Structure 1
């Protein structure tokens, strides 16, 4: 009898997880829709939906009308069943951008706060301010994006006071009192490009972040972000390009502005300079030089140009880089401009934190 009871509980959990996943991915749905998609019997489907409602995970959002047969309840996930936060550290202006979303993925609030002297207090204050704006009193997961790598609880390559202190991640997690994950900002941008941008259907791709301040490479192989043994995969700004320089010296923001001046272009931002036709060929030649090394090692199906410079240069810069790359590489690699116009890092952090919350909910059924 004990074994049968255990098996029954396991089966109920499997059925509830299946129904909840369908509501998350394809909702709203009627019980008829759920029966068709899961193959469950009518009484079983009714029982599953009752339990999900009792657990506060699903609710009735309407009724069908005007069709053959009786009207039917329409179910969807309860957006207030869980909340998550995404936090993006903006090194260039020493701020934190924080967004709160509910279980449906709707963003309830977004706030920008200045960094203080203590990173722990800066993050916790930012999350609490955003939570108040969203009228949320609990969080199930927080995703922090940083312009650097992290390994063994320590963030590296972030040039802000206190952010490379050993044990910082654990201290932030303790102060928040909830689950916390940390990832490189370019990895998060690649996550957003995969879920929302031009790389949706790519088997594999690399996202080259051409920023005003720094460079980075997000590597997506078959839908999996490659981070490396110590979280440093993709730190291409440090990639040597000769005995006296690295890739940052070729296509970092200051280098692009210097290149612009050499071609008679006056601009106060690298992204502005990248829109000038006179800069396309010389800038593309430099970008292609670094991409050729990436392609030789990874052979991605596509390389996406992102960041402030990649976004501003758009399709013309991507086309020029593609032409320059064909002169350097024997591999035929598509070069494309990012398909995102919003803050890609924050979008990727939202996607990641929401996935973590949904996975945890499904595993508990």
Structure 2
């Protein structure tokens, strides 16, 4: 019984009904143009700040979808170094952070370069610099071998597993990928629709033993950058997919168990893209707030610990800031943290949160609620 889409006789001759999503495509294209125009009015430094924010969010959320939590400071520092952007408080980054940043920047900053097998293998090697995924040794920079059995997406307890998807047999991967890469480089269809198809096609082939999701999203970003005619990224599909993760897996499973008419998948993808484009308002609000914030307090004495924590709060610290957390992140004593905080309260920069609780929490005065670009606390 041919259960999965890649087992259909005409695979991968996808079909779709353009009339069903033409309005969505027009809306997405309009939002892309408006966003690029809006970002074009910013000065060089603010545009770099927005770019750095977006790329940092994209890398963090793409890894988070796979259950891997990256240190935001390391991600931000790694991206800044590679783009030649100077930031305060830059830190050294772990190899796994450097690898995923290297892949995402290669995909977006060199979006107009052709896709090749070697390029994909380089990305895969960057994701797994030790040759292992967690504790397990995996095949790196080569197609999967299926030594332990077919590549499956499974849920449920042992003995009661549910197979959501089974990828093509490893014997067919090289041929599948040769066809995919040729299409990726030569197809002339609308680039937004092409991004939707490439995402589905690549993740269905599942050519690697691990890392397929992150590479899929890198390819998606690559084609969306081409569609923007710009390697500067100001919106994150990965962040939006993370927010809509349940819907993403539902439509993906339904499509992979369906026929070759992928209209429903394209409609979902376009809606996700539209939501991603609309969410960039929070990035712009935060970037403008940060620029105005430091200009406002340019003549106020602020020590290095205070500057570090204030930047963290502006950049997206979304937990409850207490004196204990301040001390831990600033690597200082609790007494020093309290003095830092009280000094900023006296200067009208911080205030106690109105909501009470077991601990006293602090917030920036005037911080717009819509400026937070991520959820969850920064990890010191």
**Class of the TM-score when normalised by the shorter of the 2 chains:** under 0.3
> Which structure has the highest strand share of the two?
1
Q: Which has the higher contact order (CA 8 A, sep 6+)?
A: 2
If you compute each CA radius of gyration, which structure gives the higher value, 1 or 2?
1
Which has more helix, going by share of residues? 2
TM-score with structure 2 length normalisation? Answer: 0.22
TM-score, normalisation: structure 1: 0.23
